[in-house]
Amino acid sequence: MRKLCPNLERDDALDTVLEVPIPEEMFSGGGGGGGSRGSRFGCTAWMRSHAAERSGAGEPCSMSRGELQLMLGVIGAPLIPLPVYHAEQSPCSVLCEQLKADPIESSSAKYIVQQYIAASGGEWALNKVKSMYAMGKVRMTAAELNSSDADGHGGGITGNGHRGGKKGSKGSGGEIGGFVLWQKKPELWCLELVVSGCKISAGSDGKVAWRQTPWHQSHASRGPPRPLRRSLQGLDPQLTASLFADSVCIGERSIDGEDCFVLKVEAEASSLRARNSSSVEIIRHTVWGYFSQRTGLLVQLEDSHLLQIRSSGGVGGSVFWETTMESRLGDYRAVDGVNIAHAGRTAVSLVRFGDCQDGNTRTRMEETWNIEEVDFNIWGLSMDCFLPPSDLREGKESQDVAIGVKADARPPPIRIPAVTVRVGPSQVAAVNMDDSDSLIARS
């Protein structure tokens, strides 16, 4: 990973310090063009912070703008379904107190979580971690399937009429990028991700979770702030233990030949209602954790999210979006006594069904990631590092003033496209599963 970029204007000038490290592949001219000219062009594209500046000619991204936005909107910075807070007591002590009082499914889950804490480094090592920094690289690919099965199964890969294939850079098997994650508490975090010249930022200051993209203004997620799903992918064992502390054990399953216990967590109805709007309803959001019976570590993380969008004006039926994310974790290494997963793969299936003129559609995406650097207890990591963007703060202050002057003031209506409009998988510009109001369709 490169942290410095040569000055693109003057050869005798100092190097530029990059906000987000860039993979070496972008400097080697692997995306085509070759030589210093190709490398220089790659650096320029990576340093662009707004997708609107991309001309589309000769850019190192073989995807369309809409396809790249769809991938980043779904895989880039998803949140977990419910807020998680570290208890004043240690998770291990809480588990030991409740083992005898709970039903067998709950007590078994608590015992499995206790074994996971021990396998991750122990309660003493986890409690020493007050903040975290992680830097890594990602590679994203998308395979589009479009089917109009009449039986409503969403169009499997063997169904008739499907089309599509992997989308990504030629010869590289996907769009590559890098990310930096800063975290102080489960509710205090900041992520910056750059893929093929597009940069997205997301974070939480403990009061509001927000996201900023080149194609969408800064906006806050509905409901209470929630931790980043990427932190659960082997980076924060204490957060994982807190999430599954109230889970239930639903059985066993073999993952790549590894026998695992399966723990399940359902988002509470109150948490889902807080994220609903007049046109969008979140029906369910479930998380499953697969913990190895041999090592006690988290092997796979899976969550499923079902969203209903009602037609405007009550005309027509509803459209349902179901997103399933499955993350395999591996390459565990000890960092300051804490076992951290340094590699993994996330597969996403995005299905649209319901009252759709063009039938049910399915889009598959995949992300492979590697952690290059991890460090704990970062000095100087203050609250200022997690503040939301200035336009989001100014908008909130202006709205508060308007409400104070006029009590019956109403925010502008959220624009949700009618379900009768034809929307294909490649036409969806952004599906932010953690802020359903940002569902945008483009013809």
Residue 275: what pLDDT? 85
β-sheet bridge partners, residue 321: 307, 352
- Averaged confidence pLDDT in the chain: 75
Confidence of residue 108 (pLDDT cuts 50, 70, 90): very high
Segment among 30-34, 93-97, 177-181, 340-344 with least mean pLDDT: 30-34
Instruction: State the CATH architecture for 63-80+91-147+174-386.
Output: Clam (2.50)
Confidence of residue 105 (pLDDT cuts 50, 70, 90): confident
Residue 102: what pLDDT? 72
Helix, coil or strand: residue 10 = coil
As a whole number of angstroms, the distance between CA 301 and CA 232 comes to 8
Smallest CA-to-CA distance from 116 within 246, 295, 336, 300 is with 295
Residue 377 reports pLDDT greater than 80: yes
Segment among 121-125, 322-326, 335-339, 359-363 with least mean pLDDT: 359-363
Phi/psi at 276 (5° precision): -80, 165
Residue 366 reports pLDDT greater than 90: yes
Residue 326 reports pLDDT greater than 70: yes
Average pLDDT over residues 319-327: 93
Residue 415 reports pLDDT greater than 70: no
Residue 166: what pLDDT? 54
Rg (CA), the chain: 22
Confidence of residue 104 (pLDDT cuts 50, 70, 90): confident
Confidence of residue 394 (pLDDT cuts 50, 70, 90): low
Kindly write down the DSSP assignment for every residue of 401-423, as one continuous string: HHHHH-TT--PPPP----TTS--
Strand pairing report for 258-266 and 280-292? antiparallel
What pLDDT digit, counting tens, does each position of 288-310 carry?
A: 999 999 999 999 999 999 998 88
Region for residue 56 given its phi and psi (left: phi exceeds 0; alpha: psi -120 to 50; beta: otherwise): left
Residue 27: what pLDDT? 63
Residue 328: what pLDDT? 97
What pLDDT digit, counting tens, does each position of 258-294 carry?
A: 999 999 999 888 888 888 887 888 999 999 999 999 9
- Ranges of each domain in the chain: 63-80+91-147+174-386
**pTM to 2 decimal places:** 0.78
As a whole number of angstroms, the distance between CA 325 and CA 238 comes to 21
